[in-house]
């Protein structure tokens, strides 16, 4: 079975502060990990996937297989980063995307 855990339902930081959204996964093989973001009143959209190893909007995420984690980080949060963030996983040979419960990030001015 595949499972994604996001331990923080809510995360509040001030503008300019570093932010880290935690994600841990459970899967016996080699998964593909994603971060999706949902801005207010918008559809979900892909933010990052681990195989790309790129930085999007200043966010990065590193897959740590030893700790089975895929935490999302940004050194200096901006107000426009306020959104719901979902960590997601695809395991095995199927296409099923399993989501965590999400973390609502609020960046205060």
Partner 1 sequence: NAGVTQTPKFQVLKTGQSMTLQCAQDMNHEYMSWYRQDPGMGLRLIHYSVGAGITDQGEVPNGYNVSRSTTEDFPLRLLSAAPSQTSVYFCASSSDRAEAFFGQGTRLTVV
Asked whether 6 and 21 are in contact (CB, 8 A), the reply is yes
What residues numbered 22-81 form the site for partner 1, per CB under 8 A? 32, 34, 36, 42-46, 49
Single residue of 13, 82, 99, 106 touching partner 1 by CB under 8 A: 99
φ/ψ bin of 33: left (φ > 0), alpha (ψ from -120 to 50), beta (otherwise): beta
Single residue of 53, 57, 65, 101 touching partner 1 by CB under 8 A: 101
Judged by CB under 8 A, which stretch of 13-21, 63-71, 74-82, 87-95 contacts partner 1? 87-95
Q: Does 108 bind partner 1 (CB under 8 A)?
A: no
Separation of alpha carbons 41 and 38, rounded Å? 8
43 vs 109, beta carbon nearer partner 1? 43
How many C-beta neighbours within 10 Å does residue 93 have? 6
Q: What are phi and psi of 81, to 5 degrees?
A: -80, -10
Name the DSSP class of 28: S
Supply the minimum distance, in Å, between the C-beta of residue 57 and partner 1.
16
**Residues at the contact surface with partner 1, assessed by CB under 8 A:** 6, 9, 32, 34, 36, 42-46, 49, 86, 90, 94-102
């Amino acid at each position: 079975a595949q499972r994604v855990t996001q331990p923080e339902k809510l995360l509040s930081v001030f503008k300019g502060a570093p932010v880290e959204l935690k994600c841990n996964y459970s899967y016996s093989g080699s998964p593909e990990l994603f971060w999706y973001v949902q801005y207010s009143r918008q559809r979900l959209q892909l933010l990052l996937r681990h195989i790309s190893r790129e930085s999007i909007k200043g966010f990065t995420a590193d897959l740590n297989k030893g700790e089975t984690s895929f935490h999302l980080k940004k050194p200096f949060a901006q107000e426009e980063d306020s959104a719901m963030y979902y960590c997601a996983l695809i395991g095995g040979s199927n296409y099923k995307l399993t989501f965590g419960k999400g973390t609502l990030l609020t960046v205060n001015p």
